[in-house]
Amino acid sequence: MTRQRLVVIGNGMAGARVVEEILKRAPDLFEIIMFGAEPYGNYNRILLSDVLNGKEKPTDIFINPLSWYKENNITLHAGLRVLKIDRTNKVVVAMPVSRGAKPYDRNSTALPDDSQVSEPYDKVILATGSRPFIPLIEGWGAPGTFAFRTLDDCAQIEEYAKNCKRTAVIGGGLLGLEAARGLLTHGVQVTVIEAGPYLMNAQLDPEGGRLLKSTIEAMGIQVLCNTITTKIGAENNRITQLLFKDESTLETDMVVVSAGIRPMTEVAEDSNLAINKGILCNDQMRTSDHNIFAVGECVEHRGQLYGLVDPIWEQARVLADQITGVNPKSQYTGSKLATKLKVMGVELVSMGETEAKNPDDEIVVYREPKRGIYQKLIIRKNRLAGGILLGDTQAGNVLMQMFREETSLPKKRTELLFGGSNLPSLANAADLPDHAQICNCHGVSKTQIRDAIILQGCTSLNQVGQCTKAGKGCGSCKGLIVQLIQAYHGQVGYDPAEHYYVPGISLEKSQLIAAIKAKNLKSVSHVFQELASGVEDAASKVGLASLLRSIWNEEYQDERDARFINDRVHANIQRDGTFSVVPRIYGGVTSADELIRIGTVAKKYNVPMIKITGGQRIDLLGIKKEDLPHIWKDLGIPSGHAYTKAVRTVKSCVGTDFCRYGLGDSIKLAQEIEHKLQGIESPHKIKMAAAGCPRNCSEAYVKDVGVVAIEGGKWEIYVGGASGGTVRKGDLLATVETHEEVLKLVGRFIQYYREHAKYMERTYSFAERIGIDRLKGILIENEMGICKRLDEEIQKSAAAYVDPWKKESEEPLYPQQFEGPELVHVLQEAINNG
Amino acid sequence: MDNINLGSIEKIPLGQGHCFIVENEEIAVFRPRAGGLYAVQNRCPHRNGPLAEGVIDACHVICPYHGHKFDLQTGRGAEKGETVKIYEVKEESGEIILKL
Ligand code: SRM
Ligand SMILES: Cc1cc2nc3c(=O)[nH]c(=O)nc-3n(C[C@H](O)[C@H](O)[C@H](O)COP(=O)(O)OP(=O)(O)OC[C@H]3O[C@@H](n4cnc5c(N)ncnc54)[C@H](O)[C@@H]3O)c2cc1C
Ligand code: SF4
Ligand code: FES
């Protein structure tokens, strides 16, 4: 059977989505041809705001890259704009968008000529979206005036902003505020100009609008309401100011307009389809021509136009049901809009109406001006007719659900905002009904996520996202997804692989260690041979190497291919492929001699940057691989292990030697710890510190291990502290009197961590997982009777320590260890066999 | 198509890769412990990580920069839309022969 030809006009969020829905239902029914006026595959327009504020890179927001089209045999005409549908001959006619033209401009193509492309069709879907609405302003279009709709707009705004001090954003709606917030990250002064009396008047009432204004102003954005722009003033081709209707002015260097959108209907119009404000569609998403459908922002359905993605997902499902014939009863009857808004730094949920309409409408309001909280509910006939949650959106998920489902409400209205005994707790996703929509960007319900977790075994945010797309839009639902994974993964979808030490060998850590010891496996390849039927797994090698090193110490049989590049060459690879060298500086204390040597080396090898690190040491950055062994030799200082999962630094304050507050000799103790435990391998890095008093200048409370001197000649030992991506104060493990006791307990804790932590689990997770009370029981009270063994094991590892720099600078382990890329000279060989 | 002799197989440590620059193209050649030889473009399509420095198994390489994974046989990446160019390469009497 020959396939029917389906031509999709518009390659935006609606167009690509409807194709995905069709492929899900009937992958082989159509030969699909897509036209997109933008020169790209399909990207997530919602995230443009995050591109502008620097949270995402443009390449990260693509939903369907070009390869997706190929894999699904879709012909994509990117950069071509459809002019009309020739309904008599059943062909769609398109022309390339002219260079430099905006894809949404009416005359963005040249007149039809031989670059015209025609595609015959059996069915057509119009998904042309909308264009920015530009109010009548004199001077619009000059360099420095922008709209905010496409990836290219975004790039041009960013580029232009680099040379500006002040920007103005015309329009105080959602998009205008997102644009303003984004521009702020580019270091320019931003003013938002709103013609109406308050911000976001589609989603807020005047009080909410005023409160939002002060929140926005607190971010450093100036807001002018009741201000109508009439003219953009320019001199020498650069914008200088805006002129307003009341004759006041504002100095500015650029202007971004975000004053609403208008559906793009010209293709439908030129093809003689019925239009009003948008392209008219029935409940089957059909236009006035039976073979032509429409979806997305270009559609007018039951008198309603939509400007958010939520309704688009519903429309796409119905359209796919209809066009494939899979479910002829499927109908779209309109959407109730409830949205979480995502201007960085503002929490806002808005749904339905914002003001009372009837005399017996009930209004419930809660205000907490000091914290910027304003919540308002409009209740009609015991159903939620609308709501605003500003500043605190905890109740948002449940309320949006009640609003969409038209659930009857609890008698005590306070329960709506603050939870109640019979109501699902506000923050808990597990309590939401099955059909509740969790991801509002991609329209994914709780059931779909549950299925992904239980049926398809997804156990991480990323896996759930790959299966269902949930969480891959604006990201505001990620917390809920995590709750669902916790709820279902624990109960039903238990995935033992989560607990394997490395993915390629199905054993938990203790089982793996037991098997390694029982079979006497001393190299990574040996482990694969014996425990994985000889099948190597790249993702498991590095973890295994680290484990074997800590089990066997000097008996470990090293295979460099099993190590991460940093560990092959004992230096940290940089973004440009060079390396960094951080020599060990015990306790942060150095000497004139050492400094001179470091300086001499830096000069000799033209080191591009010498930096004092956050770990109280000196980093030589930008070093060529070939130079590493020579530099180590010239330095004559041991490795600081800044590149590996091992004991790194022991920071110190100046302590009793110099500080008037010092209670204990922190420098000496830090150096003792570092000398004893330096370079010891572990599941993740270990950073320590010693402080001479509880003022804690070396930040010992927030280290993997921290010791703090207290009155009475004692030392407190803290474990599991963190001050990186996670911040956590360490737990007090013990208070002891002597340096020897500190050394012993610190060693014991580290050995226990080495034996029981998962690969890449820092002590802050480990200490929390085991619990400080159990740790005390095991390590101090010796409940399991293993203290002596732990002390001996760590002693063994410490004794086996060899400075890798010294060893391998004398002779590389293998000839190519420090070699860079090899330039191959291709000789033009004379091939002449005659 | 030219056959280019890159020299002795011993240039590549067993289980690792090595980068050759041939006619301005950076090519990573890998020698898995399980046998065979593979060649792919050296630069990772994600953010230019040097794949030759990656950890490999019988048929994959993991980029050292952010851990993206690629199939050495097909060039296909584990991340949606990422592929690397593959080259024909073989061992002939102890020498690495690359087709370009
Ligand atoms: C050089 C240094 C920054 C500086 O110039 O100050 C640095 C540089 C890097 N840090 Fe760091 N960290 C440095 C001190 C810190 C500190 C402060 C400290 O050690 O007191 C922290 C917070 C404490 C902590 O570790 O929690 C820190 C928290 C991190 C983290 C977050 C860890 C976490 O779980 O939250 C990472 C990422 C990781 O480990 O996965 C990281 C990872 C990195 C890496 C290794 C990223 C990488 O894998 O390439 C950076 C290497 C850059 C390079 O190319 O050389 N670095 N990093 C510091 C070296 C200290 C040293 O002398 O060894
Ligand atoms: C910065 C920004 C932030 C947003 N944030 C949110 C949010 O947080 N939540 C939310 O729900 N919504 C948000 N939106 C709105 C959301 O992006 C739109 O509702 C959605 O993109 C509409 O999808 P669409 O496919 O109908 O239109 P579009 O995504 O605009 O796609 C239409 C495509 O068709 C192309 N096209 C038009 N005419 C032709 C033609 N004749 N020939 C070929 N191609 C053509 C256009 O170039 C365009 O690429 C945001 C929008 C922007 C701009
Ligand atoms: S904070 Fe650390 S990991 Fe991040 S860029 Fe700086 S050095 Fe690199
Ligand atoms: S550069 Fe290769 S994974 Fe990022």
Q: Give the pLDDT confidence score for residue A499 in this predicted structure.
A: 63
Say if CB A714 and CB A689 are below 8 A apart: no
Q: Give the pLDDT confidence score for residue A802 in this predicted structure.
A: 93
Q: Give the pLDDT confidence score for residue A826 in this predicted structure.
A: 76
- What's the pTM? 0.54
CA distance A821 to chain B (A): 5
- Give residue A155 CA to ligand 3 midpoint distance, Å: 26
Contact with chain B for residue A535, Cβ under 8 A: yes
Instruction: Classify residue A49: in a domain, yes or no.
Output: yes
Task: Tally the domains of chain B.
Answer: 1
| pLDDT tens-place string over residues A744-761 | 999 999 999 999 898 888
| pLDDT tens-place string over residues A148-160 | 999 999 999 999 9
Q: How confident is the model at residue A476 (pLDDT cuts 50, 70, 90)?
A: low
- In this model, does residue A408 exceed pLDDT 50? yes
Proximal ligand: closest to the CA of A725: 1
Is the same domain home to A655 and A790?
yes
User: Which of A569, A570, A572 has most ligand 1 atoms within 8 Å of CB, for mutation?
Assistant: A572
Instruction: Classify residue A583: in a domain, yes or no.
Output: no
Is the same domain home to A783 and A691?
yes
Instruction: Tell me the mean pLDDT in the region A256-264.
Output: 95
Instruction: Tell me the mean pLDDT in the region A694-703.
Output: 96
Quick one: what percent of chain B has pLDDT higher than 70?
99
**Residues of A (550-569) whose Cβ lies below 8 Å from B:** 559-565, 568
Is residue A748 within a helix (H) or strand (E), and if so which, with residue range? helix A739-756
- In this model, does residue A494 exceed pLDDT 50? no
| HSE-up of residue A795 (Cα within 13 Å, Cβ side) | 8
Q: Give the pLDDT confidence score for residue A234 in this predicted structure.
A: 93
- Give residue A746 CA to ligand 1 midpoint distance, Å: 22
Q: Give the pLDDT confidence score for residue A498 in this predicted structure.
A: 55
- Give residue A546 CA to ligand 1 midpoint distance, Å: 19
Please report, for residues A3, A736, B82, the alpha-carbon distance to residue A31 in angstroms, rounded to integers and kept in the order given.
Answer: 6, 76, 25
Please report, for residues A94, A687, A716, A758, the alpha-carbon distance to residue A790 in angstroms, rounded to integers and kept in the order given.
Answer: 75, 20, 21, 18
Write out the residue range of the structural domain in which residue A543 sits. Answer: 499-563
Distance CA A332, CA A353 (A): 21
Is the same domain home to A85 and A199?
no
CA distance B19 to chain A (A): 5
Instruction: Classify residue A829: in a domain, yes or no.
Output: no
Task: Tally the domains of chain A.
Answer: 6
Q: How confident is the model at residue A423 (pLDDT cuts 50, 70, 90)?
A: very low
Q: Give the pLDDT confidence score for residue A637 in this predicted structure.
A: 97
> Phi/psi of residue A320, each to 5°?
-65, -40
Please report, for residues A201, A209, A354, A673, the alpha-carbon distance to residue A388 in angstroms, rounded to integers and kept in the order given.
Answer: 12, 11, 7, 57
Distance CA A90, CA A732 (A): 77
- In this model, does residue A166 exceed pLDDT 90? yes
Write out the residue range of the structural domain in which residue B18 sits. Answer: 3-99
By the 10 Å C-beta count (0-12 exposed, 13-18 middle, 19+ buried), A104 is classed as buried
CATH of residue B69 = 2.102.10.10
- A524, A559, A565, best to mutate vs chain B, most B CBs in 10 Å: A565
- A536, A579, A823, best to mutate vs chain B, most B CBs in 10 Å: A536
| Protein residue whose Cα sits closest to atom 53 of ligand 2 | A149
Instruction: Tell me the mean pLDDT in the region A41-49.
Output: 89
Proximal ligand: closest to the CA of A728: 1
Residues of chain B with pLDDT under 70: 1
Instruction: Tell me the mean pLDDT in the region A217-228.
Output: 92
Nearest to B56 among A68, A538, A820 (CB): A538
Question: CB A195: neighbour CB atoms within 10 A?
Answer: 18
Is the same domain home to A476 and A521?
no
- Give residue A337 CA to ligand 1 midpoint distance, Å: 45
What are A111's strand-pairing partners?
Answer: none
Please report residues of A whose CB lies closer than 8 A to that of B26: 821
Return mean pLDDT, chain A. Answer: 90
- Give residue A484 CA to ligand 1 midpoint distance, Å: 32
| pLDDT tens-place string over residues A567-592 | 999 999 999 999 999 999 999 999 99
CATH of residue A742 = 3.30.413.10
Q: Which residues contact A514 (CB under 8 A, 6 or more apart)?
A: none
Q: Give the pLDDT confidence score for residue A428 in this predicted structure.
A: 67
Is the same domain home to A674 and A795?
yes
CA distance B54 to chain A (A): 7
- What ipTM is given for this predicted complex? 0.73
Chain B, nearest residue to A577 by Cα: B50
CATH of residue A443 = 1.10.10.1100
Is the same domain home to A481 and A506?
no
User: Would the CB of A728 count as within 6 Å of ligand 2?
Assistant: no
Contact with chain B for residue A78, Cβ under 8 A: no
